[in-house]
């Protein structure tokens, strides 16, 4: 027993207290008929992105890529939230090493999704602020349920999204709209997001959103997969290259910023307000 626990710890790169649970926070289901994989984020209540969720997300993307699925649909098991972004509780009152791990795993998860050669789509069945929007915009296609919110609201929180984190957002919105939205920290309603091109379609239920995503992925049936993926990656190559150049420094910048006393204080106040709001 002890031996197998030790082996598991060694396989995971040593003991890490924020990775204490061994239950996966993502699941993968492949449709036998279509060959399309649905990757579900499952960390109730709001899929806030802690290290484990980010690591599990990468492992599920790897699994889908190696099992020769025809495409990947990202969705959420939470009823009203796609993902609430980074887990602020995990960033609050912690040490630099942990902050470093959080940001490194966010980077790793983003590049795994953004740089995937597979066709990718997001069935956004709930709110997708900040890191939630990051994951949705890393995909090639977005279908969203009505009356939810999506966007990069970092400036509203007094923080700055680095350039790589804006890449997907900038891929889908005109520069002028993106600049205004980012500087305002604007969250778009589903209907506004559709009008601006931040999402591609609206669906009334999660099932319908999954079907629409599957139809998007199905639209590549007659396209040579290698030609398709190389074309996709050519479009993304510049952003990926820029990201690779700064990724180490970006981790250190994040650690320095997130550990500043005033930023930690801001996180504490933000968390308190979130909790107050959820009790109402
Ligand atoms: C202030 C952040 C500081 C970060 C500092 C870092 C510095 C440098 C950063 C550089 C760039 C960062 C890039 C990315 C950043 C992020 O992703 S930060 C996270 C931003 N996310 C949000 O602002 C969303 C916050 N949440 C909400 O607005 C709502 O929860 C919701 C998503 C709209 C869902 O609403 P609802 O269904 O009504 O659920 P709630 O009742 O509000 O929440 C349920 C419980 O979940 C807790 N919670 C919600 N979001 C988070 C979260 N992101 N992290 C941790 N916990 C969260 C909420 O407190 C409730 O908890 P309980 O009260 O215990 O039930």
CATH number at residue 138: 3.90.226.10
Catalytic residue among 47, 50, 125, 153: 153
Q: Does residue 195 fall inside a structural domain? A: yes
Q: Does residue 168 fall inside a structural domain? A: yes
pLDDT of residue 27: 97
pLDDT of residue 38: 98
pLDDT of residue 4: 37
Instruction: Give the pLDDT means over successive 10-residue stretches in the chain (280 positions).
Output: 35 35 85 97 98 98 95 97 97 97 98 98 98 98 98 91 94 96 97 98 98 98 97 97 97 96 93 89
Atom 1 of ligand 1: nearest residue by CA position: 267
pLDDT of residue 261: 95
Q: Does residue 13 fall inside a structural domain? A: no
Q: Does residue 16 fall inside a structural domain? A: no
Q: Does residue 11 fall inside a structural domain? A: no
pTM score: 0.92
Q: Does residue 199 fall inside a structural domain? A: yes
pLDDT of residue 16: 31
Domain with 156 in it: 22-279
User: Considering its fold, how many domains does the chain have in total?
Assistant: 1
pLDDT of residue 23: 77
pLDDT of residue 280: 77
pLDDT of residue 76: 98
pLDDT of residue 262: 92
User: Would residue 131 show up in a list of annotated catalytic residues for this protein?
Assistant: yes
Using CA atoms, how far apart are residues 42 and 76, in angstroms rounded to an integer? 6
Q: Does residue 12 fall inside a structural domain? A: no
81 lines ligand 1 (CB under 6 A): yes
pLDDT of residue 157: 86
Q: Does residue 236 fall inside a structural domain? A: yes
Q: What are the C-alpha distances in Å from 50 to residues 16, 104, 170, 239?
A: 13, 12, 25, 25
274 lines ligand 1 (CB under 6 A): yes
């Amino acid at each position: 027993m002890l031996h197998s626990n030790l082996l598991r710890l060694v396989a995971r790169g040593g003991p890490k207290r924020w990775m204490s649970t061994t239950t996966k926070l993502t699941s993968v289901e492949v449709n036998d008929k279509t060959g399309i994989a649905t990757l579900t984020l499952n960390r109730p209540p709001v899929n806030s992105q802690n290290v484990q969720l980010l690591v599990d997300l990468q492992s599920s993307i790897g699994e889908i890529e190696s099992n020769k699925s025809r495409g990947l649909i990202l969705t959420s098991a939470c009823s009203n939230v796609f993902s609430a972004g980074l887990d602020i509780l995990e960033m609050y009152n912690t040490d630099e090493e942990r902050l470093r791990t959080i940001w490194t795993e966010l980077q790793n998860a983003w590049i795994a999704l953004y740089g995937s050669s597979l066709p990718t789509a997001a069935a956004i069945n709930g709110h997708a602020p900040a890191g939630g929007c990051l994951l949705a915009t890393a995909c090639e296609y977005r279908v969203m349920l009505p009356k939810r919110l999506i966007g990069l609201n970092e400036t509203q929180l007094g923080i700055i999204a680095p350039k790589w984190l804006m890449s997907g957002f900038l891929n889908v919105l005109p520069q002028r709209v993106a600049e205004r939205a980012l500087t305002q920290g604007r969250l778009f309603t589903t209907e506004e997001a559709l009008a601006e091109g931040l999402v591609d379609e609206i669906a009334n239920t999660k099932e319908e959103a999954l079907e629409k995503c599957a139809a998007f992925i199905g639209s590549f049936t007659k396209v040579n997969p290698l030609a398709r993926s190389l074309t996709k990656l050519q479009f993304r190559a510049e952003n990926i290259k820029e990201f690779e150049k700064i990724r180490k420094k970006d981790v250190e910048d994040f650690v320095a910023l997130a550990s500043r006393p005033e930023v930690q204080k801001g996180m504490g106040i933000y968390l308190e307000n979130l909790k107050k709001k959820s009790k109402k």
